[in-house]
A and B are shown apart, each in its own frame.
Chain A
Amino acid sequence: NAGVTQTPKFRVLKTGQSMTLLCAQDMNHEYMYWYRQDPGMGLRLIHYSVGEGTTAKGEVPDGYNVSRLKKQNFLLGLESAAPSQTSVYFCASSGSRSSYNEQFFGPGTRLTVL
């Protein structure tokens, strides 16, 4: 099993450009998450999904959109990138809604917005 994979690994954008980050998991997990990681700020939840066709806002959703058209994929979109969105983005998945279920993380996407 590949676990959780993310595409691309690195990307440089200019302000105002758009892009989509792809997350895929092969563990048949119901829950998927998008986080951003900034120095000294830990992980902050952007959006999450509790199942195919559903999405919900996390702690820092502004400037991002998501879609979960297939159970195994969770897409994160930036419609008009800003320098404040320079960050490392992590996708994660979880088997169920129980709070004691661990999350499985992808390797991350490093995004720079100039």
Chain B
Amino acid sequence: AQSVTQPDIHITVSEGASLELRCNYSYGATPYLFWYVQSPGQGLQLLLKYFSGDTLVQGIKGFEAEFKRSQSSFNLRKPSVHWSDAAEYFCAVGAGAGKSTFGDGTTLTVKP
């Protein structure tokens, strides 16, 4: 069965610093991978997705993610974090029949 692990429950970075959120997946075939962001009191919004082709994918709000098959990873990055990026971030893998399996999430705090 597919699974997603986000090793970091909580990350704190200073505004303007770079960010990397880790995601590891387990899936038997070519994975379809997603990163979502959830602002407080809101639903989830898609940041980016990967299903084939270039291993570096660009998303909204200046985020990017790199797919590494050898490491079963799909880490999310941003070169310079803004205070408005404080939120919870979820990695997900497509699980067939339109379903997705979500990780437990990483909460990002941004220090001024």
Q: CB < 8 Å: which of A90, A94, A108 contacts B98? A: A94
Please tell me the size bucket of the interface on A.
20 to 34
Q: Which of B13-21, B41-49, B66-74, B77-85 is the contact stretch?
A: B41-49
Contact, CB under 8 Å: B44 / A97: no
Q: CB < 8 Å: which of B36, B98, B102 contacts A31? A: B98
Q: CB < 8 Å: which of B44, B49, B99, B100 contacts A90? A: B44
**Count of B interface residues, CB-CB < 8 Å:** 24
Residues of A within 8 A of B (CB): 4, 30-31, 33, 40-43, 45, 48, 50, 58, 90, 92, 94, 96-103, 105-108
Alpha-carbon distance between A106 and B43 when the two chains are bound, in angstroms: 5
Alpha-carbon distance between A41 and B102 when the two chains are bound, in angstroms: 9
